[in-house]
Amino acid sequence: MKRSLAAALTTALVAPLGVVLLSAGPASAQELTVTDAQGDVGTRTLDILSVTVQSLDRQVVAEIEVEDATRDGNLTVSIDPRGGTGVRVISKFRATGGTKNYLLRKAFTDQGSSKQKIRCRVRLGHGWSEAGHPVIKLRFPSRCLAGGNYGALRFAAISSLAHERDVAPVDKHGQVSVSDWVARG
């Protein structure tokens, strides 16, 4: 009888603790994707189809799905942390090589403009979407955005070259807008 009472108490006290411990999983990256219509830009610059931003603990990753990566384009992804000064991730993308990537201070939503570079490495990668389109990946350390001290962020992207430009997301008037907030993972 004493043994069954001890077992019952153990089950009653320890089991809920185990459920609480098991239900707490590791933090995961938050991401958000915005889409843009195919064919809404001329033939000289990259046609943005979607932009996905992942807000990881140690890095921020922007994935830009384009119609055709054999075109050149100047990609700018504006990253705006809630309550702080943002950055612009710049990629002077050249399909034949020689692409240059860097960060500039101030997002599109910040007051004023800046051509001041931030000493942070922007890594360029590539992949393919499920639809078979090229994806250009730009990643940088999260410490380069508001000193790493931010929670949520929002973004916008522009591709431009030779007086043509494509933007995502767009507002109801077809002008550049910003995404919803993306929590940090």
What is the structure's pLDDT at 180? 95
- Which residues of the chain, if any, have pLDDT below 70? 1-29
Integer distance in angstroms from the first to the last C-alpha of the chain?
49
Q: What is the pLDDT of residue 23?
A: 33
pLDDT at residue 28 in the model: 47
Task: Give the Cα separation of 7 and 37 in Å (integer).
Answer: 63
d(CA 165, CA 159): 5
Judged by DSSP in three states, 86 sits in: coil
DSSP classification of residue 122: -
| pLDDT score recorded for residue 42 | 86
Residue ranges of E strands in the chain? 30-35, 48-55, 59-66, 73-81, 87-93, 100-105, 117-118, 123-128, 134-141, 153-161, 164-168
Q: Is the peptide bond before 26 cis (omega within 30 degrees of 0)?
A: no
pLDDT at 113: 83
Q: What is the pLDDT of residue 9?
A: 36
Residue 121, C-beta contacts closer than 8 angstroms, at least 6 positions apart: 140, 141
What domains can be seen in the chain, in order of their start residue?
A: 30-168 (2.60.40)
C-alpha dist (Å) from residue 70 to 17, 30, 113: 56, 30, 31
d(CA 63, CA 165): 18
DSSP classification of residue 41? S
103 beta partners? 89, 118
Q: State the Cα angle at 99 between 98 and 104, rounded to 5°.
A: 140
Structure tokens at 120: 């942070």
Instruction: Please give the model's pTM, rounded to 2 decimal places.
Output: 0.81
pLDDT of residue 29: 56
Q: Give the H/E segment covering residue 99.
A: none
